[in-house]
């Protein structure tokens, strides 16, 4: 197997100019931090930070059967997208009901013939192949937008600082509600979405305008943030990372994603539906929880969790800067409802608290 050099995003020059420490992330050269992961994390929790998410794949879907195609492709139902710009979070499943990816889909026009999918960077080839495979029967046009960049601007002051740079967007951006996007023309698109548990937006823009936009945001006081802070923020927010918290072999029903599966319309068949119904009827065996380590050490992925009802596994783990304690996302036996468990760390059983996710929302602790 030949190893290719990692790909660079349109913001590569901005990362090097701001002393980003670059690493290979799923085949993309991205900054893990720009000096201090903790400072970057805290900037997003208390002020404003931004992340290059240009490795994510923007795919525009058009055609008379675009809605029917997405109703087949996704476990969630795009019929819920009641107006232009509305977004839906969904899992995309394989025939066995495992998760190929999680993604966001936007309705882009009035007559439900244009949609935009934003999916994960690490799975872009697999996703594109699956879109094409399912899309063949529907005659839709799939356009991967390799000509755009994407920046997530997050934190309590993110929108105010964005509008200091783009005052002409004020009315449209202030009108946005969570999980709604707006097309601003000339390939600029702003959505009230994110992966941090804070307010903020994700902005799609022409690739050649990205570095200037990034620099303007830095001048407006938005801190450049790397993958390290992105991970601690999403963990505190109890948000799944594809490849860790759900995979091709894990059902959304066991990965805290049951709310993204829509079985209401009995006439709608989607990929993986029969496997999900079979699992539901058979009884879901595992469920997703949060774990809080009482003291000392850091929880990581793939540690054994010991409960009164049998064992489970951690799927992601980090040290939480906001809580000053280590946290994990884990799968435990579905029958287990206790508040205390143990995690095996370096051969020792360590006490953990079992919590409902998220740990943090809008900078505030969600448990006592």
% of the chain surpassing 70 pLDDT: 99
Could you tell me the residue range of the domain that residue 9 belongs to? 1-238
Query: Are residue 150 and residue 283 in the same domain, yes or no?
Result: no
**312 shares a domain with 272:** yes
What pLDDT is recorded for position 2? 52
155 domain residue, yes or no: yes
- Residue 87's Cβ-count burial label (10 Å; 0-12, 13-18, 19+) is buried
Residue 83 CB burial class (10 angstroms; 0-12, 13-18, ≥19): exposed
pLDDT at 260 exceeding the cut of 60: yes
- In terms of Cβ atoms closer than 10 Å to its own Cβ (0-12, 13-18, 19+), residue 151 is buried
Looking at residue 67, its pLDDT comes to 98
In a domain, 361, yes or no: yes
pLDDT at 171 over 60: yes
Read off the DSSP letter of residue 356.
P
User: Which one, of 348, 294, 350, lies nearest residue 324 by Cα?
Assistant: 294
Q: Tell me how far CA of residue 254 lies from CA of 5, 106, 210, in angstroms.
A: 36, 26, 38
Compute φ and ψ for 359, nearest 5 degrees: -80, -40
325 lies in the same domain as 349: yes
Nearest CA among 327, 357, 324 for reference residue 45: 324
- Rounded-to-integer distance, Cα 102 and Cα 92, Å: 6
Of the three residues 238, 269, 301, the one that is the final residue of a domain is 238
Residue 172 lies in a domain: yes
Question: What is the token pair recorded at 88?
Answer: 């839906």
DSSP for residue 253: G
Q: Are residues 272 and 203 in the same domain?
A: no
Q: Does some domain include residue 247?
A: no
pLDDT tens column, 173-209: 999 999 999 999 999 999 999 999 999 999 999 999 9
* Residue 140: CATH number of its domain: 3.30.1360.120
**Global confidence as pTM:** 0.96
Q: How confident is the model at residue 310 (pLDDT cuts 50, 70, 90)?
A: very high
Confidence band of 3 (pLDDT split at 50, 70, 90): low
Of 191, 209, 238, which one is at a domain's C-terminal end? 238
Cα end-to-end distance, the chain, whole Å: 51
Of the candidates 17, 23, 89, 87, the one whose C-alpha atom is nearest the C-alpha of residue 55 is 23
333 lies in a domain?
yes
Are 116 and 33 in a shared domain?
A: yes
User: How many C-alpha atoms does 147 have within 13 Å on its Cβ side?
Assistant: 6
**328: CATH:** 2.40.30.110
pLDDT in tens, 272-284: 999 999 999 999 9
Contact 184, 108 (CB under 8 A): no
Q: Is residue 143 part of a domain?
A: yes
73 within a domain of the structure (yes/no): yes
CA distance 19 to 170: 31
| Portion of the chain with pLDDT greater than 90, in percent | 96
176 with 285, same domain: the answer is no
| Separation CA 229–CA 114 (nearest Å) | 34
**Are 200 and 261 members of one domain?**
no
Do 281 and 137 sit in the same domain of this protein? no
The domain boundary residue, chosen from 209, 238, 267: 238
Judged against a pLDDT cut of 90, whether residue 66 lies above it is answered with: yes
What pLDDT band is residue 295 in, cutting at 50, 70 and 90?
Answer: confident
What integer pLDDT is reported at residue 186 of this predicted model? 97
Alpha carbons 143 and 133: distance in angstroms, whole number = 14
Same domain (yes/no): 283, 233: no
Phi, psi dihedrals of residue 29, rounded to the nearest 5°: -85, 105
Are 193 and 230 in a shared domain?
yes
Q: Phi and psi (nearest 5°) for 260?
A: -95, 0
pLDDT at 218 over 80: yes
- Work out how many domains the chain is built from and give that number: 2
In a domain, 243, yes or no: no
pLDDT of 210 over the 90 cut: yes
The verdict on 315 and 354 lying in the same domain is yes
Token pair in block for residue 14: 């901005």
Tell whether 134 and 282 lie within a shared domain: no
pLDDT at position 144 over 90: yes
Answer yes or no: are the C-beta atoms of 326 and 317 closer than 8 Å. Answer: yes
């Amino acid at each position: 197997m030949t190893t290719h050099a990692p790909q660079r995003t349109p913001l590569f020059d901005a990362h090097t100019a701001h002393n980003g420490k670059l690493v290979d992330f799923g085949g993309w050269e991205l900054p893990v931090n720009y000096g201090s992961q903790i400072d970057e994390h805290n900037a997003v929790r208390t002020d404003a930070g931004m992340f290059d998410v240009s490795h994510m794949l923007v795919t525009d879907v058009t055609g008379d059967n675009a809605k029917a195609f997405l109703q087949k492709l996704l476990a969630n139902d795009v019929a819920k997208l009641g107006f232009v710009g509305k977004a839906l979070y969904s899992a995309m499943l394989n025939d066995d009901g495992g998760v190929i990816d999680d993604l966001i889909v936007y309705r882009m026009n009035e007559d439900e013939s244009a949609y935009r999918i934003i999916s994960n960077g690490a799975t872009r080839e697999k996703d594109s192949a699956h879109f094409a495979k399912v899309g063949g029967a529907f005659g839709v046009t799939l356009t991967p937008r390799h000509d755009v960049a994407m920046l997530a601007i997050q934190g309590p002051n993110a929108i105010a600082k964005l509008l200091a740079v783009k005052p002409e967007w004020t009315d449209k951006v202030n009108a946005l509600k969570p999980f709604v996007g707006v097309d601003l023309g000339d390939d600029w698109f702003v959505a009230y979405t994110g992966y941090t548990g804070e307010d903020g937006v994700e902005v799609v823009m022409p690739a050649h305008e990205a570095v200037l936009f990034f620099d303007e945001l830095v001048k407006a006081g938005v801190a450049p943030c790397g993958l390290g802070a992105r991970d601690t923020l999403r963990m505190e927010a109890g948000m799944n990372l594809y490849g860790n918290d759900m995979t091709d072999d894990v059902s959304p029903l066991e990965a805290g994603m049951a709310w993204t599966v829509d079985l209401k319309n009995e006439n709608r068949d989607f990929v993986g539906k029969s496997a999900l119904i079979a699992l539901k009827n058979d009884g879901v065996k595992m469920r997703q929880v949060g774990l809080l380590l009482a003291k000392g050490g850091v929880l990581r992925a793939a540690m054994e969790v010991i409960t009164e009802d049998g064992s489970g596994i951690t799927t992601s783990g980090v040290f939480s800067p906001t809580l000053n304690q280590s946290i994990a996302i884990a799968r435990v036996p579905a029958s287990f409802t206790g508040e205390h468990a143990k995690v095996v760390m370096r051969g020792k059983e360590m006490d953990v608290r079992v919590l409902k996710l998220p740990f943090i929302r809008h900078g505030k602790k969600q448990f006592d």
